[in-house]
Amino acid sequence: MNTNLKRPVKKAVFPVAGLGTRFLPATKVLPKEMLPLVDRPLIQRAVEEAQEAGIEEFIFVSGRGKSLITQHFEIQPELREELERKDKLDLLEKLSHSDIPSGMVQITMQQRALGLGHAIWCAKNLVGDEPFAVFLVDVMTLGETGCMAQMIEAYNNHGGNIIASSPVEHDLTYKYGILDVENESDDVTKIKAMVEKPKPEDAPSNLHILGRYILQPEIFNILEGRQIGAGGEIQLTDAMVTLMNSQPFTSVKLKGETYDCGHHLGFIEANLAFALADPQLGDATYEILKKYIQNPPSLSKRA
C-alpha cells in the first residue's frame, strides 16, 4: 500500500454545527453536544475518547450559537485554584480532561447546516494534507477500550480509511448507513460497498456505520464538488463511496455497546447504561431502577 495511506492520525474533527432539532426546546440555546451524559457533556466524552487514542489536535466545526462548546475547553485558573484550596482533587482530575493545551484547539465555522459532508469539508484547511479522525458526538460507545483506540489499532495494521461499525437488528437497517463487507463475522474486514438506509431485504449486512471514521485527506476534493443529495444535505457517505474507487476502506467492529444520544429514548438509555457502568454510581442507580420497576409512576401529562 502507498505509505502515504499509513501516516499517523494526529487530528480529530468534531462536527458540532447541527441544529439538534430532535431535542428542541432543550437545544434552543444549549447545544446538543453540551447535554451531559451522567457527569460530563457529550463533547467532552468524545474529546476524551480521542485523547485515549493518541490524538493531539482538536478541530471543532462550529455553527451559530455554538460557542459554549469551545468555551467548555477553556482552562479556568480561578476554578482550579478554588478546587485546590478546598482539596477537591477528584473534581480537579475530572476537570483536567476539559483543559486542552494552547495551540491544540482549532475552530472553523459551518455557516449553514448543509449536512455532515459539508461540515467535514469545512475543516479542509485546518486538517491539511493528513489523515484525520471524525467523531459524531451524539453517538457514544461503552467498552473496555474506546472506539477510536480500537480503530487506530486497525489503522496501524491496514492504513487507508477506517469506519467503525456495529451490528443492528436486521429489521432496523432502514434507519442506518449499512456496510457491505468481505467477511461479516470478522472484527476487522475490507469494506466492499456501503448503502444508505436500505430496506432489510436489500441490506448487504447488519453492520451499521456508527459515527467514527478515520479518513484520508483526498475526501476533501471529493466533498468539494458534491451536490446537495438526499434530505437537502451534502452526504458524507456519497463521498466515501467515491473515495472507495481509489483507496481501501476497512470496517472495525466495535467491541462494546453503541448508544445513539441524538434522540430522547437513546439519550435516556445511554444515561442509564453509563450510570450503571460507573463505579461510583452504578449500585445506587441500580437500586433506583429497581424501585421504579417495582412501583412504576403513573403516566402524567406534566412529565
Which residues contribute to the site for ligand UTP (CB under 6 A)?
Answer: 15-22, 32-33, 61, 110, 113-116, 118-119, 136-138, 262
Shortest distance (Å) from residue 209 CB to ligand UTP: 12
Distance spanning both ends of the chain, measured CA to CA: 57
CA distance 38 to 144: 18
Rg of the chain over Cα atoms, rounded to whole angstroms, equals 20
Residue with the closest Cβ to ligand UTP? 18
Shortest distance (Å) from residue 121 CB to ligand UTP: 10
Q: 159 or 177, CB closer to ligand UTP? A: 177
| Strands in the chain per DSSP E | 11-15, 36-37, 40-41, 57-62, 105-109, 132-135, 139-142, 161-167, 177-181, 188-196, 207-215, 249-253, 257-260
Q: 16 or 243, CB closer to ligand UTP? A: 16
CA distance 271 to 282: 11
Q: 166 or 285, CB closer to ligand UTP? A: 166
| 231 DSSP 8-state letter | G
Q: 116 or 148, CB closer to ligand UTP? A: 116
Shortest distance (Å) from residue 266 CB to ligand UTP: 11
Q: 17 or 223, CB closer to ligand UTP? A: 17
Shortest distance (Å) from residue 92 CB to ligand UTP: 28
> Is residue 37 within 8 Å of residue 138, measured between CB atoms?
no
Shortest distance (Å) from residue 142 CB to ligand UTP: 19
